[in-house]
């Protein structure tokens, strides 16, 4: 049984995580404002950057405040328990609830990490397939699924898509998250397990994804390691370093690529073909 001290510690931990997510969101907002105004203001380089960073931070802080209140309010519901969770496909009917759940799951990215466009596009067969046609890096053929409870509440989301460069061998996992109030109950693991099984059933040899070493995605790295998704590459993140520092990221942010081999492993001593009796 959970003691009240444990509950308080858990709430405090989640509040701390939520503050981190709010700050992270503000940094994204500031970055966007910075990029949007950089080309418009005719100041010498050294003054312009300083002035714009200041302005961008104000925008980020103001815009980030309501989000911070929202995620902190969400922490109060941390004691809610998920029961009878199962996985269903994204449909037009559950789309609004799916978008709301994923926005909550990715609240550390605010409006700049928004799943709505990808979720909607995945339900439009023409649009979904067309996105792959020209550019090998473009993502397409996406499908999304939701972890729902008995009442149909959406608790988490996951998805699989293809890219032009490795379409034949790999599925990529995307928009995998669990709403903060439902974390720590095995739903994330359920979503990753499902994604692996679905990719294998689709005939893919690898499940791949990209993530980052940002604080908001730290829990995911532990989950990925446990699920056998090993790091296979990384590259510098596109968020400017000074904004990373302002957001509390001590180490330079990296985009991190992970993959797991889905092919059945050969067990030493057991022949893989039919027995020659
Ligand atoms: C990552 C995330 C999906 C995990 O969801 P979850 O439902 O809490 O995960 P689970 O309860 O299934 O935990 C599975 C394992 O992950 C690890 N884990 C989960 N949360 C953790 C945390 N806060 N700190 C350390 N490890 C954690 C644990 O090893 C756990 O196994 P255990 O319970 O046996 O110790 C969730 O934290 C989330 O939505 N994060 C924000 C979105 C995100 O980062 N998505 C990925 C973007 S690349």
The whole-number pLDDT of residue 17 equals 52
Count Cβ atoms below 10 Å from residue 275 Cβ, excluding itself. 6
The whole-number pLDDT of residue 69 equals 43
User: H or E segment at 79?
Assistant: none
Whether ligand 1 lies within 6 angstroms of the CB of 103 is answered as no
Kindly list the domain boundaries of the chain, sorted by start residue: 4-261
| 231 and 257 Cβ atoms separated by less than 8 Å | yes
Size (the chain), residues: 277
The pLDDT averaged over each successive group of 10 residues in the chain (277 residues) is 43 49 54 54 50 53 47 40 86 97 87 83 86 67 96 97 93 97 97 98 98 94 98 93 85 96 84 51
Q: What's the whole-model pTM score?
A: 0.74
**Closest to 195 measured CA to CA, from 260, 138, 127:** 260
| 129 and 138 Cβ atoms separated by less than 8 Å | no
Mutating to test ligand 1, I would choose from 9, 105, 184 the residue with most ligand atoms within 8 A of its C-beta, which is 184
The whole-number pLDDT of residue 32 equals 56
The whole-number pLDDT of residue 68 equals 44
Q: Which superfamily is assigned to 4-261 in CATH?
A: Gcn5-related N-acetyltransferase (GNAT) (3.40.630.30)
Q: DSSP string covering 224-274, please?
A: HHHTT-EEEEEEE-SS-HHHHHHTT--SPPEEEEEEEE-SPPPPTTS-SS-
How many A from CA of 249 to the centre of ligand 1? 20
The whole-number pLDDT of residue 66 equals 46
The whole-number pLDDT of residue 252 equals 95
């Amino acid at each position: 049984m959970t003691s009240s001290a444990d509950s308080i510690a858990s709430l405090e931990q989640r509040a701390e995580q939520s503050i981190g997510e709010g700050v992270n969101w503000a940094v994204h907002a500031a970055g966007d404002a910075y990029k949007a105004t950089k080309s418009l203001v005719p100041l010498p380089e050294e003054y312009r950057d300083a002035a714009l960073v200041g302005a961008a931070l104000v925008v980020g802080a103001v815009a980030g405040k309501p989000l911070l209140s929202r995620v902190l309010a969400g922490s109060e519901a941390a004691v809610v328990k998920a029961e009878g969770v199962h996985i269903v496909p994204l449909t037009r009917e559950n789309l609004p609830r799916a978008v709301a759940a994923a926005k909550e799951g990715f609240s550390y990215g605010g409006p700049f990490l928004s799943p709505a466009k990808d979720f909607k596009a995945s339900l439009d067969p023409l649009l979904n397939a067309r996105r792959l046609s020209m550019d090998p890096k473009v993502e397409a053929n996406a499908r999304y699924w939701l972890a729902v409870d008995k009442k149909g509440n959406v608790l988490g989301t996951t998805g699989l898509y293809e890219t032009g460069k490795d379409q034949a061998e790999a599925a990529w996992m995307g928009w995998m998250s669990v709403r903060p109030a439902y974390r720590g109950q095995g739903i994330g693991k359920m979503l990753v397990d499902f994604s692996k099984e679905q990719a294998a059933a689709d005939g893919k040899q690898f499940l791949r994804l990209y993530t980052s070493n940002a604080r908001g995605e730290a829990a995911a790295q532990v989950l990925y390691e446990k699920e056998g998704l090993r790091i296979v590459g990384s590259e510098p993140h596109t968020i400017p370093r000074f904004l990373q520092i302002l957001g509390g990221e001590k180490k330079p942010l990296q985009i991190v690529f992970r993959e797991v081999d889905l092919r059945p492993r050969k067990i030493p001593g057991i022949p893989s073909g039919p027995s020659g009796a």
